[in-house]
Structure 1
Amino acid sequence: LLENVPNMLWLKQGNAMDVITGALSIAGYKWAYRMLDAQHFGVAQRRKRVFILASLHHDPARVLFRDLESPTRATRPISKARAEANGFYWTEGNRGVGWGAGVVPTIKGSTTAGIPSSPAVWIPGAEPDLRFRTPSIESLEMLQGFRAGWTKAAPTRDRWKLVGNAVAVPVVRWIAEGLRAYDTLSPVALDPRLSRSAGWDWAGVSVGSGRATGKIPAHLSVGSLPKRHSLARLLQTRGSHPLSPGAARGFSGRLGRSRLSYDQDFMKDLVDYSRA
């Protein structure tokens, strides 16, 4: 089982995927891959990752695509509007925001400068001085599916890296449950959204000496999964810190100068908060 960021599908025209799957096929492995998003597995974090599963003796598609055979519950569409709590990258603002209604954007081990940096959260219904928060390390652990305090034995700086570079637990648990139940799973027919192609898409399987790929969204039904945790409630119970007025000021300035679209109330709250 391999995991990596979605960009690996298109990096250098998919060269990384060509190398990995080519080596697997030469070694006699069947393989399948799928992009999965942690926010559909019960955690309030948008985290898309590509999972490649390979086997010498079994069909990996039975595990990664088992929900397509007998879906039991479709996950609710994620609104792009505002929610009770809305995540964003306060270190961005020039080319993107990382906006997430009810979720934080992908937790990172560090910024490009190598500095640990948590996403920020806008809580529009809170008191003015409490509207912009950053999750505590314990909250971030739970946003990855760990227990609060899971990385407590490590130095603080290392805890950020451990959490930001981890794999979301509920996603891997779902894959592991499929592996454990493999003998009870039905064979999967080739999904009509997958077709023989020279390129790479959101999901795919090995077919003989070639492959079939296609757009199977990460928000399809994946069985009886837990309801997504409330981001606002998580911050209340596991802790958060105030975003500094200086950080809010810098972000609002970058965002205001950009050509990005944004919620006007969000910007107003940012400006008011930065002046407090």
Structure 2
Amino acid sequence: MRIVSLFSGCGGFEAGFGELHKTVLLNDIASSARDVLRERFSNVPLIEDVRNVQPSDITSADTLVAGFPCQDVSIVGGQRGLAGTRSALVEHVFRLAAATRPSYIILENVQSIRFVHGGRVLLYLMYAAEQLGYSWAYRTLDSRAFGLPQRRRRFYFIASRNSDPGEVLLSDAGIPLPANLLDQSLPVGFYWTEGRSGHGLTADAIPPLKTGSSIGIPSPPAVLFPDGGVKVPTIETAERFQGFPEGWTEAAPPRLRWGLVGNAVSVPVVRWISDQINSPAPWDRKLSSPMPDRPIWPLAAWGDGRGLRLAVNVQEAPSSLDLGRISHGNYSWTDLSDRALSGFVNRARESRLLYPGGFLEHLEARLR
């Protein structure tokens, strides 16, 4: 494929598609992202503002990919949907698709796009694809199922002009992920910045990497190790947790690298999608049922481009499940500060959240 990448970030789509496909245009408005893209894809033209990308810039492409901004559709964001100025930029994907008629449109976003703002953002994606006469499919996939020790459920949407995208996203019905059973003889990831209304406790992995604060202060999840240590990943380990090589974002200013990694598309998931595109296969229509009403759309669905929409019962892990585990890797860490850890413990003790027996006691023992 010849790919135009919009909202490219630090290049997760491009790294995942690799040398089998050719990227012909990149786009990102963040200067830190452009620093990385110029370093990693020096021969590819780069346009700063998606609003300035014109059909004449992309006539040689047959695929549009976009990890479009999620701030207005994430649970921790404003949940303004397409009324928000950032997530509304996805409209430019369909502006360009209407003019150039690519074979594929591939999108990624947070899985909460299925229900925040009444599900209207996802409804827009389905409707916009159908208006162009494209069939479509989407699926929620967890990055941890692809060998990354990070529980990261993300939404992937493929629309196609002349093939069935269900043969890409839905042909492998997958298998269930193991339950998130917390065993403190193994590492336990959690959000040290929270504690009062959430905690993100994750067995032998971290909860999803976030972008950090709006001014670039990093806040990666912490991990309680069986020996009582409480640590946070280095930026190089965070890159690996997204499937990049260590140092992938080193061209960006240090304090902005965390935001790039937290916003990135997980590389092994894109690699799996690339493999599925190269080897499409029929999907089992017996797994489908009529699409339910909003406001919560199903985890996976398919549309024929002419108005027929079906929910599809597939799993968040492919049948080739490769469960990422902190305990199975050699990663670099730094200690979480006493101040940060104490703040989390205090918030957790004041909250009504349930914590597994011994978890907070282990953290308090570390402080002592």
2:207 matched residue in structure 1: 105
Tell which has more relative contact order, 1 or 2 (C-alpha 8 A, sep 6+): 1
User: Is residue 143 of structure 1 aligned with residue 241 of structure 2?
Assistant: yes
Contact kept in structure 2, 1:39 and 1:46, CA below 8 Å: yes
Deviations 1:20-65 (A, max 9, x none): 1101101010000000000111111000011000100000000101
Task: Classify the secondary structure of the residue corresponding to 1:67.
Answer: coil
Give 2:154's match in structure 1, choosing from 40, 49, 53: 49
Deviation at residue 249 of structure 1 after TM alignment: 0.7
Task: Classify the secondary structure of the residue corresponding to 1:178.
Answer: helix
Task: Classify the secondary structure of the residue corresponding to 2:138.
Answer: strand
2:340 matched residue in structure 1: 247
Deviations 1:58-112 (A, max 9, x none): 00000101112xx6xx465133222511100000001111000011000011146
Deviation at residue 160 of structure 1 after TM alignment: 0.7
* Map 1:66-81 → 2, pairs under 5 A: 66-68=171-173, 74=175, 77-81=178-182
2:165 matched residue in structure 1: 60
Q: Which runs of 5+ in 1 are unaligned?
A: none
- The alpha-carbon distance between structure 1 residues 30 and 193, as it changes in their structure 2 partners (threshold 3 A), is closer
Deviation at residue 271 of structure 1 after TM alignment: 1.1
Q: Determine the C-alpha separation between the residues in 1 that align with 2:194 and 2:142.
A: 22
1:169 matched residue in structure 2: 267
Q: Determine the C-alpha separation between the residues in 2 that align with 1:14 and 1:75.
A: 25
Contact kept in structure 1, 2:243 and 2:266, CA below 8 Å: yes
Structure 1 residues 146-155 or 20-29, which shifts more?
146-155
Question: Which letter maps to 1:195?
Answer: P
Deviation at residue 215 of structure 1 after TM alignment: 4.9
Q: Which runs of 5+ in 2 are unaligned?
A: 1-105
| TM-score, with structure 1 as normaliser | 0.87
The size of the alignment, in residue pairs, is 259
User: Is residue 159 of structure 1 aligned with residue 257 of structure 2?
Assistant: yes
Q: Determine the C-alpha separation between the residues in 1 that align with 2:230 and 2:153.
A: 25
Structure 1 residues 154-163 or 54-63, which shifts more?
154-163
Task: Classify the secondary structure of the residue corresponding to 2:243.
Answer: coil
Structure 1 residues 38-47 or 144-153, which shifts more?
144-153
Give 1:202's match in structure 2, choosing from 270, 290, 299: 299
User: Is residue 188 of structure 1 aligned with residue 283 of structure 2?
Assistant: yes
Contact kept in structure 1, 2:288 and 2:310, CA below 8 Å: no
2:315 matched residue in structure 1: 217
Contact kept in structure 2, 1:197 and 1:213, CA below 8 Å: yes
1:259 matched residue in structure 2: 352
Deviation at residue 150 of structure 1 after TM alignment: 1.3
User: Is residue 117 of structure 1 aligned with residue 212 of structure 2?
Assistant: no
Deviation at residue 196 of structure 1 after TM alignment: 3.1
Deviation at residue 223 of structure 1 after TM alignment: 3.5
Deviation at residue 273 of structure 1 after TM alignment: 1.7
Question: Which letter maps to 1:205?
Answer: W
2:145 matched residue in structure 1: 40
- The alpha-carbon distance between structure 1 residues 38 and 247, as it changes in their structure 2 partners (threshold 3 A), is same
Q: Determine the C-alpha separation between the residues in 1 that align with 2:307 and 2:165.
A: 16
1:13 matched residue in structure 2: 118
| TM-score, with structure 2 as normaliser | 0.66
Contact kept in structure 2, 1:194 and 1:204, CA below 8 Å: no
Q: Determine the C-alpha separation between the residues in 2 that align with 1:265 and 1:113.
A: 35
Deviation at residue 161 of structure 1 after TM alignment: 1.2
